[in-house]
Structures are given as structure tokens and as C-alpha cells.
Amino acid sequence: MISFVKSYSISKDTIALLAVTMIVLGLFLSGLFDVLDYLIIKALLFFSFGTLFILACIYAIKNDTDTEKNRPEEALQNDSN
């Protein structure tokens, strides 16, 4: 089991795709079996959506501030020669 997990790398894209897939399947199956009308199911789905939205915002802010600059700000040079 451990070697199976180590053979696949889990990136942020994979985690996001898995989370969206789980929410879509949850909505589809709960609508299919007519349990979407229950208050607990609705609350659970809205809570999971809100949690994913907050996590996405946190990752977006973190990625925006972690960008690296390729060229230095000081002592710029001309590379056209």
C-alpha cells in the first residue's frame, strides 16, 4: 500500500480535481436518490463547498505572493550584445 501511494505524486491540481469530483458525485447521487431535500445533506454540501472556496482563496493568495522574479531589480544588464 505504501509503495502504491509513493508511486503517484499528489499535486495541488490533483487535490482540486478530486475535491470537485467528490462534490459533483455527491450532488448527482443525492439528487438521484431524492435525499437532497434533507437538511443535513444540504448543510454538508454547502459546508464542503464553502471550505473548498476558502481553501482555494488561501492557495490563490499564497501563490500570488510566492512568485519569484527572474531578473534582479538592481544592476540591470543589457543582453542584446
Per-residue pLDDT of 51-75, as tens digits, reads: 988 988 888 788 766 556 666 666 6
- 19 CB-near residues (< 8 Å, 6+ apart): 52
Which pLDDT score is estimated for 12? 74
Q: Could you give the dihedral angle defined by the CA atoms of residues 18, 23, 24 and 30, in that order, rounded to the nearest 10 degrees?
A: 140
Can you tell me the mean pLDDT for 10-27?
83
Which pLDDT score is estimated for 55? 85
- pLDDT over 70 for what percent of the chain? 67
DSSP 14-69: HHHHHHHHHHHHHHHHHHHTT-TTSHHHHHHHHHHHHHHHHHHHHHHHHHHHTPPP
Task: Tell me the whole-structure pTM to 2 decimals.
Answer: 0.47
